Every structure is written in C-alpha cells, then in structure tokens.
Amino acid sequence: MTSENQPQPATIPDEAATKREAAGRVQTVEASELADIFARGPANDLIHKWFVAGVGWQPSPFGDFEHLGTGLGGDPTPIQQPNGQLDIFGRGTSDDLVHKWFVPGTGWSPSPTATSNTWEPITRVPTSRGCGNRAQRHEHGQNDEGGGTY
C-alpha cells in the first residue's frame, strides 16, 4: 500500500479559522472513516465541516464551513445513529427545541439554506418555577394553574 492510499489522521482544521466562524462550542461526531464538526455560527446559523479518510477536510481545509440554515439560539447537539443518520438538536432563537437530520443518500432535512430558519420545531423548551416547597414544570406560552401565561 502506498503512502497516498493510507488513511490520513483526522486533525482539527485551522483553530483560528474555526474560532472566527464558531460562536459557541464545537461539537464532533466520529464514525469509522468520517468525522463531523458542528457549531453555532455568529449569525445563529448551524455550521458544519467534515473529514473523510483519504480525502481530508471538507468543504475545504482552510476554515470554510457548510452553512445549514439560521435560527439556532444555542450550541447544537449532534447524535450519530447506527445506520449513519445524523440528528442535530438545538435551542431555537425562540427558545423552542429544534431538530435537523441527515440521511446518507438522501441529504439534509429540512432542506438547508444559508439565509432561512430551516429547523423542524419539536416543542417549547420547558422551564421550572418554584412554588413553595415544590417545583412546577411548565412550558412557555402555556397557562399555569393560576391562569397566568408564561
């Protein structure tokens, strides 16, 4: 096997370029010959970079990221399924739980654009509020037992 056919070690791309692009924590997902990096960009967009063994960092090794849509209010949480599907969860800009997924051979859903909010909302993010000696869970926008809306 020649050296050009041997797998390349996965190294993090230019750290300074990554920090310029990312507004939050950088999250990674690794599979056998593939590694994905996800972060929230400065425009509350989901940014993505991936490493393919034998090819290198995509879309480029020089700090460029794939932009997968806006509307992300917190750091993304990626999960890799055994079938290769990637699920990305995050807090939306309206404090709702949002979801985006990638199916190998099919692509991203909802379909990403760099300038629009392309997340599937799941629910409102629940919060808790103290009530005497007990905590009451409620969702923003829902009425509590006393008729108040949060």
What's the whole-model pTM score?
0.63
With tokens 């989901």, the residue in question is: 46
| Cβ atoms within 10 Å of 116's Cβ, excluding its own | 13
Q: What angle do CA 42, 119, 46 make, to 5 degrees?
A: 25
pLDDT at 25: 74
**Alpha-carbon distance 74 to 62, whole Å?**
25
pLDDT in tens, 69-109: 888 999 999 999 888 899 999 999 888 888 999 999 998 88
With tokens 């629940």, the residue in question is: 126
| Cβ atoms within 10 Å of 89's Cβ, excluding its own | 16
